[in-house]
Amino acid sequence: GENVEQHPSTLSVQEGDSAVIKCTYSDSASNYFPWYKQELGKGPQLIIDIRSNVGEKKDQRIAVTLNKTAKHFSLHITETQPEDSAVYFCAASKGGGGSYIPTFGRGTSLIVHP
C-alpha cells in the first residue's frame, strides 16, 4: 500500500519568514495530493491540493509543488503570520480502484512566533 513520509514534525519560524513542509510517497500510481490544516480543537480543513498533471499550484501565500519522478511534494507558505500556526497534514491518493482513499503523513506542527 501507499506510504507517506512527512518532514519536519515540528517547524518554528518567525512571523514574516517562509515555511516549507516536505512529503514523499511510495506509490507511483498516486495522482492526487491534498494538504490539510488543523487548527487547535478543530478538524482538518483542505487548504490546497495538486494533481499529478500539474507541477505547481499557488493560492495567495501558499503554494504546492510536485515532483512525480522523485515522488515528493512540498507545501510552501510565504510571509507567515501567527494565524498560520497549526498542524499541517499532507496526503496521497489515487482514483479508480483506489477511489481517492487518502494516506496521510504524520503531520507537521507549525509555530509562527510574532
Partner 1 sequence: DADVTQTPRNRITKTGKRIMLECSQTKGHDRMYWYRQDPGLGLRLIYYSFDVKDINKGEISDGYSVSRQAQAKFSLSLESAIPNQTALYFCASSGTPLGDTQYFGPGTRLTVL
Q: Least distance in Å: CB of 15 to partner 1?
A: 26
* Residue number with CB closer to partner 1 (10 or 67): 10
CB 111 within 8 A of CB 19: no
Q: Cell 503570520, residue? A: 81
Residue 6 near residue 22, CB atoms below 8 Å: yes
Least distance in Å: CB of 46 to partner 1?
5
Q: Which residues bind partner 1 (CB under 8 A)?
A: 6, 9, 32, 34, 36, 41-46, 49, 89, 93, 95, 99-102, 104-107
Nearer residue to partner 1 within complex by CB, 82 or 95: 95
Q: Is the peptide bond before 8 cis (omega within 30 degrees of 0)?
A: yes
